[in-house]
């Protein structure tokens, strides 16, 4: 519908006919010409190949440029954020969202690369100072331990992160801090045959020097360990051995000593051994560990005594009334607690790794401002959706709410500032009802209800969902009861999602065998002991009560909610910039763009909604001077000779153009136009 002149426009608000079809058409044409970025807010389409658009030269060309001077690029957003920070003395955030494989992490790296380049101490002759290098090298470390190959992405981040880059008042980088959200720890013990465990498992088993393998008794290969043998072993085009070298190099640059490095590998080794403990079931249905050789390896690596370890697993002490009694476990129970332990070890060590990196890069001095970069998974809507999806979708609901408020309220505030005629529109995009349903405590929302059931002695997943129905059924338009499954339906911003609630109580409580965690807390290996120090304390009290009192025991849902609140608080204190990443096709292929798939993402991430707002509002604006300079030739001799003030001139010109009154507004310093009007004027101007 749009004249060919508007093919491949940089800013979608310039399209005369602004609708889904024209937006996707434009995106597609641009994409096929390797122009992967488009504006309205920044949209980035994954090219699935390396484009020559991230060179030092291009970085330089974006430095200090005005907003619309250069084509859209992740560097343009980074530069704007940096500038606005210094000029407006305000913290900034860059929110990068999108589906798995859309390019969030790649774009995050580009932001950091850009900022590290332009904000490096200029007296330094090297390209990056040591601090900048350390910040850049944090990433390969995080990726080795926190990323994995999945069906959708060969390097999929299985955790979310918020990286704050701190600056001194002169605008030089003074430090950084990484906050981590939700690690998909279930991957440690289970992967589908098309996917892999976290990269480090493969890197270590393939690439570690024999001294390390010997130290941790790793005499097998990937096929010998239960937690790796069912997975894929290789990723196309990736050399795990070379990646291991990259990891070691990164750790060295960050300043993690060899002794410390080994401790992180200790955890990986112990997890591998844990998976191989052979548990059998006796006639009495009780669990046995007849062959103790693997358990001995585990205990050697973890620094705990073997007898107490095995006893703690198969016949733990539990509290019965006031007494402590030994209670025999079934094979399934023991396997469950071994896997829970493996996951806890890995997750806690990942947390410690992030802390260790922060210790290197988070300097206490000179923090005047920050730019925060958020790289977090977008809405997940699968065939079956569980507790993990609820946590992710809850996060996205909050981020979308933030986006809506920013976009729609700020835009309208601009109109008010310019004093143009405008009735405030409520776009009906308040997502608070859905958010309340998840996080409220009065009436009891989903997370609070789950927490309550977690402390009820006889509660089950079923009683949980029944209680939820009794509170919310027919009470909220955002809540629904599914016809067939045990679960509930939530009306999210992106879509209606049906959740299955099996296993939720356990996932939320995330229980560990405390007989064993106590042993770990007293491990002869200081690193292991430090990871479980929250289980230290009164040796006769094996219960969780103690920990509740000390405030350490928190459910998974509650912890996530608290973290999310802290994130939102920070975001609301910044000036945000939004980057929407788009995966072009499901085949990880370059040069192919699947229209329905892309359209669906544009819908989910608010791009189409943003365009709808643009259509009712006045998305294009031009200062009086520029307007006159550019368009006076469309109505020559209209303006009288001599001085005319800008507003008056704009008024006269617009009248002469015979535009419908509703197509524009004249503000205090600018003329505002409906979408497409300016483009039409351009068309006429070109034909002159």
Show which residues are catalytic. 100-101, 105, 153, 156-157, 378, 380
Residue (159 or 627) nearer to ligand ATP, CB: 159
State in angstroms the smallest separation of the CB of 374 from Mg ion.
12
**Should residue 157 be labelled a site residue for Mg ion when binding is judged by CB under 5 A?**
yes
CA distance 404 to 576: 12
**Should residue 104 be labelled a site residue for ligand ATP when binding is judged by CB under 6 A?**
yes
State in angstroms the smallest separation of the CB of 395 from ligand ATP.
13
Q: Which residue in the set 8, 20, 100, 292 belongs to the binding site for ligand ATP (CB under 6 A)?
A: 100
Residue 612's Cβ-side half-sphere holds a number of Cα atoms within 13 Å equal to 12
Total residues at interface with Mg ion (CB under 5 A): 3
Interface of this chain with ligand ATP, residues 289 to 348, rule: CB under 6 A: none
**Should residue 153 be labelled a site residue for ligand ATP when binding is judged by CB under 6 A?**
yes
**Should residue 585 be labelled a site residue for ligand ATP when binding is judged by CB under 6 A?**
no
Q: How many CB atoms lie within 10 A of CB 522?
A: 17
Residue (304 or 377) nearer to Mg ion, CB: 377
Specify the 3-state DSSP secondary structure of 134. helix
Quick one: tokens of 391? Answer: 């946590």
* E strands present in 123-184: 147-148, 156-157, 160-167, 173-181
Give 565-572 contacts, CB < 8 A, sequence gap 24+: 567/162, 567/179, 567/181, 567/374, 568/398, 568/402, 570/91, 570/93, 570/162, 570/164, 570/372, 571/93, 571/95, 571/372, 571/374, 571/402, 572/402
State how far the alpha carbon of 161 is from the alpha carbons of 81, 492, 578, in Å: 19, 23, 16
Only one of the segments 103-111, 260-268, 439-447, 613-621 lies at the binding site for Mg ion (rule: CB under 5 A); that segment is 103-111
Interface of this chain with ligand ATP, residues 545 to 584, rule: CB under 6 A: 581
**Should residue 31 be labelled a site residue for ligand ATP when binding is judged by CB under 6 A?**
no
Residue (139 or 515) nearer to ligand ATP, CB: 139
Q: Which residue in the set 101, 140, 487, 606 belongs to the binding site for ligand ATP (CB under 6 A)?
A: 101
State how far the alpha carbon of 589 is from the alpha carbons of 40, 46, 269, in Å: 26, 9, 35
**Should residue 645 be labelled a site residue for ligand ATP when binding is judged by CB under 6 A?**
no
**Should residue 108 be labelled a site residue for Mg ion when binding is judged by CB under 5 A?**
no
Only one of the segments 40-48, 115-123, 314-322, 537-545 lies at the binding site for ligand ATP (rule: CB under 6 A); that segment is 40-48
Burial of 491 (0-12, 13-18, 19+ CB in 10 A): middle
Residue (76 or 583) nearer to Mg ion, CB: 583
User: What is the greatest pairwise CA distance in the chain?
Assistant: 106
Chosen from Mg ion, ligand ATP, none, partner binding at 645 (C-beta under 5 to 8 Å by type): none
**Should residue 59 be labelled a site residue for ligand ATP when binding is judged by CB under 6 A?**
no
Q: Which residue in the set 76, 102, 173, 314 belongs to the binding site for ligand ATP (CB under 6 A)?
A: 102
Q: How many degrees, rounded to 5, is the angle at CA 166 between CA 161 and CA 169? A: 160
User: Phi first, then psi: what are they for 234, rounded to 5°?
Assistant: -130, 160
Q: ω before 671 within 30° of 0 (cis)?
A: no
Q: Which residue in the set 105, 177, 393, 501 belongs to the binding site for Mg ion (CB under 5 A)?
A: 105
Only one of the segments 44-52, 317-325, 403-411, 602-610 lies at the binding site for ligand ATP (rule: CB under 6 A); that segment is 44-52
**Should residue 605 be labelled a site residue for ligand ATP when binding is judged by CB under 6 A?**
no
Interface of this chain with ligand ATP, residues 156 to 185, rule: CB under 6 A: 156-157
Interface of this chain with ligand ATP, residues 371 to 410, rule: CB under 6 A: 377
Q: Which of 162, 167, 178 is nearest to 82 (CA)?
A: 167
DSSP annotation of 100 reads: T
Residue (120 or 157) nearer to Mg ion, CB: 157
Residue (267 or 377) nearer to ligand ATP, CB: 377
**Should residue 97 be labelled a site residue for Mg ion when binding is judged by CB under 5 A?**
no
Residue (37 or 408) nearer to ligand ATP, CB: 37
Residue (238 or 608) nearer to ligand ATP, CB: 238
Question: What residues form DSSP beta bridges with 147?
Answer: 157
**Should residue 55 be labelled a site residue for ligand ATP when binding is judged by CB under 6 A?**
no
User: Phi first, then psi: what are they for 325, rounded to 5°?
Assistant: -130, 155
Chosen from Mg ion, ligand ATP, none, partner binding at 46 (C-beta under 5 to 8 Å by type): ligand ATP
The 3-state secondary structure of 499-546, one letter per residue: EECCCHHHHHHCCCCHHHHHHHHCCCCHHHHHHCHHHCCCCCCCCCHH
CA distance 229 to 222: 6
Total residues at interface with ligand ATP (CB under 6 A): 20
Q: Which residue in the set 103, 312, 372, 667 belongs to the binding site for ligand ATP (CB under 6 A)?
A: 103
**Should residue 393 be labelled a site residue for Mg ion when binding is judged by CB under 5 A?**
no
Specify the 3-state DSSP secondary structure of 597. helix
> For the residues of 443-486, what is the DSSP string, one character each?
TT-HHHHHHHHHHSTT--HHHHHHHHHHHHTTT-TTEE--SSSS
**Should residue 47 be labelled a site residue for ligand ATP when binding is judged by CB under 6 A?**
yes
Only one of the segments 118-126, 157-165, 547-555, 614-622 lies at the binding site for Mg ion (rule: CB under 5 A); that segment is 157-165
State in angstroms the smallest separation of the CB of 113 from ligand ATP.
12
Interface of this chain with ligand ATP, residues 233 to 292, rule: CB under 6 A: none
Quick one: tokens of 601? Answer: 């993402």
Contacts with ligand ATP by CB under 6 A lie at: 46-48, 50-51, 98, 100-106, 153-157, 377, 581
Contacts with Mg ion by CB under 5 A lie at: 104-105, 157
């Amino acid at each position: 519908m749009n004249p060919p002149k508007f093919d491949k426009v940089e800013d979608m608000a310039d399209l005369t006919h602004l609708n889904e079809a024209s937006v996707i058409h434009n995106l597609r044409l641009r994409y096929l010409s390797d122009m992967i970025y488009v504006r309205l807010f920044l949209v980035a389409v994954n090219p699935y190949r390396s484009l020559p658009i991230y060179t030092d030269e291009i970085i330089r060309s974006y430095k200090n440029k005005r907003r619309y001077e250069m084509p859209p690029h992740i560097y343009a957003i980074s530069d704007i954020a940096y500038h606005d920070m210094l000029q407006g003395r305000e913290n900034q955030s860059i929110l990068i969202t999108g589906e798995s494989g859309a390019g969030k992490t790649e774009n995050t790296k580009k932001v950091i690369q850009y900022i590290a380049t332009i904000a490096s101490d200029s007296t330094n002759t090297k390209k990056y100072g040591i601090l900048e290098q350390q910040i850049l090298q944090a990433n390969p470390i995080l990726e080795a331990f926190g990323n994995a190959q999945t069906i959708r992405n060969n390097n999929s981040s299985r955790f979310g992160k918020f990286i704050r880059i701190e600056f001194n008042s002169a605008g030089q980088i003074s430090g950084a801090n990484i906050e981590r959200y939700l690690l998909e720890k279930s991957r440690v013990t289970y992967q589908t045959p098309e996917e892999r465990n976290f990269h480090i498992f493969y890197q270590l088993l393939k690439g570690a020097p024999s001294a390390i393998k010997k130290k941790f008794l790793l005499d097998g290969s990937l096929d010998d360990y239960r937690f790796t043998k069912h997975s894929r072993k290789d990723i196309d085009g990736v050399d795990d051995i070379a990646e291991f070298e990259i990891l070691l190099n990164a750790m060295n640059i960050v300043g993690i000593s060899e002794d410390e490095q080994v401790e992180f590998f200790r955890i990986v080794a112990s997890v591998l051994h844990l998976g191989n403990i052979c548990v059998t079931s006796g006639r009495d249905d009780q669990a046995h560990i007849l062959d103790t050789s693997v358990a001995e390896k585990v205990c050697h690596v973890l620094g705990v005594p073997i007898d107490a370890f095995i006893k703690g697993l198969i016949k733990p002490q539990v509290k019965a009334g006031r007494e402590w009694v030994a209670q025999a476990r079934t094979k399934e129970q023991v396997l469950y607690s071994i896997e829970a332990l493996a996951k806890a070890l890995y997750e806690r060590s990942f947390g410690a790794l992030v802390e260790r990196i922060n210790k290197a890069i988070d300097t206490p001095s000179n923090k005047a401002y920050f730019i925060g970069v958020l790289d977090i998974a977008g809405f997940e809507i699968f065939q079956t959706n569980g507790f993990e999806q609820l946590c992710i979708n809850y996060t996205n609901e909050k981020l979308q709410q933030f986006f809506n408020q920013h976009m729609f309220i700020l835009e309208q505030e601009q109109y008010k500032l310019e004093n143009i005629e405008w009735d405030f529109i409520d776009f009906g995009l308040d997502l608070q009802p859905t958010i309340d349903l998840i996080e409220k405590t009065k009436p009891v929302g989903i997370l609070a209800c789950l927490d309550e059931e977690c402390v009820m002695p006889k509660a089950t997943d079923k009683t949980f969902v029944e209680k939820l129905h009794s509170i919310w059924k027919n009470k909220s338009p955002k809540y629904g009861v599914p016809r067939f499954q045990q679960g509930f339906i939530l009306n999210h911003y992106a879509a209606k999602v049906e959740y299955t609630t099996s296993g939720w109580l356990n996932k939320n409580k995330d229980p560990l065998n405390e007989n064993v965690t106590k042993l770990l807390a007293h491990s002869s290996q200081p690193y292991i002991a430090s990871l479980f120090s929250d289980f230290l304390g009164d040796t006769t009290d094996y219960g969780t009560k103690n920990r509740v009192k000390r405030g350490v025991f928190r459910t998974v849902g509650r912890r996530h909610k608290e973290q999310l609140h802290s994130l939102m608080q920070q975001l609301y204190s910044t000036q945000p910039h939004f980057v929407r990443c788009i995966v072009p096709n499901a085949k990880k292929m370059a040069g192919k763009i699947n229209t329905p798939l892309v359209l669906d993402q544009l819908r989910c991430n608010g791009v189409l909604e943003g365009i709808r707002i643009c259509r009712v509002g006045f998305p294009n604006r031009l200062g009086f001077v520029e307007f006159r300079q550019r368009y006076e030739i469309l109505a020559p001799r209209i303006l009288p000779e001599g001085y005319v003030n800008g507003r008056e001139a704009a008024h006269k010109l617009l009248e002469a153009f015979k535009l419908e009154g509703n197509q524009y507004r004249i503000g205090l310093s600018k003329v505002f136009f409906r979408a497409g009007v300016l483009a039409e004027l351009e068309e006429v101007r070109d034909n002159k």
